[in-house]
């Protein structure tokens, strides 16, 4: 049914998905059946994944920050059983962001393990054309992955933040406590210590949770299939890179990174599918 919807209606649906609306709320707003919405989102998401793969090549970045954001498919990991599919449970999205242009050159959806960390870093390394300064948290898998993916052609540093809850914090407080200590470590090359940071990518994680309903915490919104989750991530990053104007640079990240010379519209993403 998604194929016979007018382009205007398809654009309205995809725009609402990219702005963090739930599928049932879009159904109420547009009158489009929720199964059609899911089918359309999956189709456009796959086209966006191809767009990201083709366009994010040969980037001239100088500083990139990487991090991981948690989500789940079907059920949380603690509720998974041996007979369940490996696609169910916790799923992590590895994200890299250029701290200057704000473009997201690479992302990978998978488990928070050495294998997917290696895939992510290898993919990131293949998309930049010059030596960069790379920053990450202290996850152990990053060191080996960066060494294999970049070799010595990178200036890589890690930052570790120490948190502490105050005595007056309410019981069951959901957000982390105050930062009481920061340690920066040079791992490979000669990174500028003052520029070792994950602040921009952590802010990008917040943007993801605001714009992707499947990542919104403390709600009943989640993906039932890994394929749908990946499509939602691809749609978000294509929308973020090509359509959404970033307030700090007054243009889209893709324009700032010279990936494109024009402002894309949501209808352009729909037409790709």
pLDDT in tens, 88-127: 999 999 999 999 999 999 999 999 999 999 999 999 999 9
For 236-251, how does the pLDDT look when each residue is reduced to its tens digit (9 = 90+)?
999 999 999 999 999 9
Domains and CATH numbers, the chain: 2-272 (3.30.420)
Range scoring the smallest mean pLDDT among 28-32, 96-100, 160-164, 188-192: 160-164
Is pLDDT of 7 > 60? yes
For 123-177, how does the pLDDT look when each residue is reduced to its tens digit (9 = 90+)?
999 999 999 999 999 999 999 999 999 999 999 999 988 877 665 555 555 666 7
- Residue 33, Cβ neighbours under 10 Å: how many? 12
Instruction: Report d(CA 30, CA 16) in Å as an integer.
Output: 10
- What pLDDT shows up at residue 163? 76
- What pLDDT shows up at residue 168? 56
The tokens describing 224, both together, are: 């039932």
- What pLDDT shows up at residue 2? 44
DSSP state of 217: T
Read off the pLDDT band of 4 (50, 70, 90).
confident
Give 46's Cβ-side CA count (13 Å radius): 9
Mean pLDDT of 47-70: 95
Is pLDDT of 3 > 70? no
Give 239's Cβ-side CA count (13 Å radius): 25
Mean pLDDT of 200-208: 94
- Residue 123, Cβ neighbours under 10 Å: how many? 18
Return the percentage of the chain with pLDDT > 70, whole number.
95
Mean pLDDT of 66-90: 92
- What pLDDT shows up at residue 216? 84
Mean pLDDT of the chain: 91
The tokens describing 25, both together, are: 């709320």
Instruction: Report d(CA 73, CA 223) in Å as an integer.
Output: 5
- What pLDDT shows up at residue 1? 42
What is this structure's pTM? 0.90
- What pLDDT shows up at residue 219? 79
- What pLDDT shows up at residue 167? 58
Smallest CA-to-CA distance from 10 within 1, 28, 208 is with 1
**Collapsing DSSP states into helix, strand and coil, what is residue 133?**
strand
Range scoring the smallest mean pLDDT among 14-23, 77-86, 101-110, 112-121: 77-86
Mean pLDDT of 57-71: 95
């Amino acid at each position: 049914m998604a194929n016979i919807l007018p382009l205007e209606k398809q654009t309205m649906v995809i725009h609402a998905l990219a702005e963090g609306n739930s599928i049932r709320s879009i159904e109420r707003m547009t009158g489009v059946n929720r199964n059609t919405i899911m089918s359309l989102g999956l189709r456009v998401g796959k086209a966006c994944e191809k767009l990201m793969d083709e366009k994010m090549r040969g980037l001239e970045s100088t500083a990139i920050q990487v991090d991981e954001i948690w989500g789940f498919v079907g059920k949380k990991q603690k509720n998974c059983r041996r007979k369940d599919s490996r696609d169910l449970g916790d799923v992590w999205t590895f994200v890299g962001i250029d701290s200057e242009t704000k473009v997201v050159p690479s992302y990978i959806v998978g488990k928070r393990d050495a294998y997917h960390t290696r895939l992510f870093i290898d993919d990131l390394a293949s998309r930049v054309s010059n030596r960069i300064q790379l920053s990450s948290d202290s996850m152990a898998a990053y060191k080996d992955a960066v060494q294999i993916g970049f070799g010595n052609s990178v200036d890589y540093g890690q930052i570790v933040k120490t948190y502490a809850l105050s005595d007056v914090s309410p019981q069951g407080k959901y957000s982390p406590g105050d930062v009481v200590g920061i340690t920066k470590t040079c791992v490979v090359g000669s990174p500028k210590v003052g520029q070792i940071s994950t602040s921009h990518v952590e802010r990008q994680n917040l943007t993801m949770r605001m714009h992707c309903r499947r990542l919104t915490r403390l709600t009943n919104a989640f993906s039932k299939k890994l394929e749908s989750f990946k499509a939602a991530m691809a749609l978000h990053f294509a929308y973020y890179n090509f359509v959404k104007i970033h307030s700090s640079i007054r243009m889209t990240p893709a324009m700032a990174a010279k990936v494109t010379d024009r402002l894309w519209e949501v209808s352009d993403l729909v037409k790709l599918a």
